[in-house]
């Protein structure tokens, strides 16, 4: 398992999902939600069993991908863009 590839793919899927939620003309794809869950589960198992962190995380760069907006949870349980 390559944690760097896993994280890159997760970020791509997250980008697609967020774009779909932000655009009223689009619908989030179930396949993206399933893939994100699979990737997260795989990375979790990797880390739980002593695997190395992805390089981006080792550098301490929490949001190194500028295309993924930082979002904050709202009280209603949804998300809002951190820049709002």
So where are the chain's domains? Answer: 3-81
Pairwise CA distance, residues 17 & 30, whole Å: 9
Burial (CB count within 10 angstroms: exposed 0-12, middle 13-18, buried 19+), residue 42? middle
> Each residue of 24-69: pLDDT tens digit?
999 999 999 999 999 999 999 999 999 999 999 986 666 555 555 5
The pLDDT confidence band at residue 13, using thresholds 50, 70 and 90, is: very high
Chain position carrying tokens 């809002």: 80
**pLDDT mean over 13-26:** 94
Tell me if residue 4 falls in helix, strand or coil.
helix
């Amino acid at each position: 398992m390559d944690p760097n590839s896993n994280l890159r793919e997760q970020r791509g899927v997250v980008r697609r999902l967020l774009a779909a939620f932000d655009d009223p003309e689009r619908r989030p794809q179930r396949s993206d939600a399933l893939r994100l869950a699979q990737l997260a589960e795989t990375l979790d198992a990797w880390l739980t069993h002593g695997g190395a962190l992805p390089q981006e995380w080792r550098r301490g760069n929490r949001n190194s991908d500028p295309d993924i907006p930082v979002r904050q949870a709202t009280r209603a349980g949804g998300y809002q863009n951190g820049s709002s």
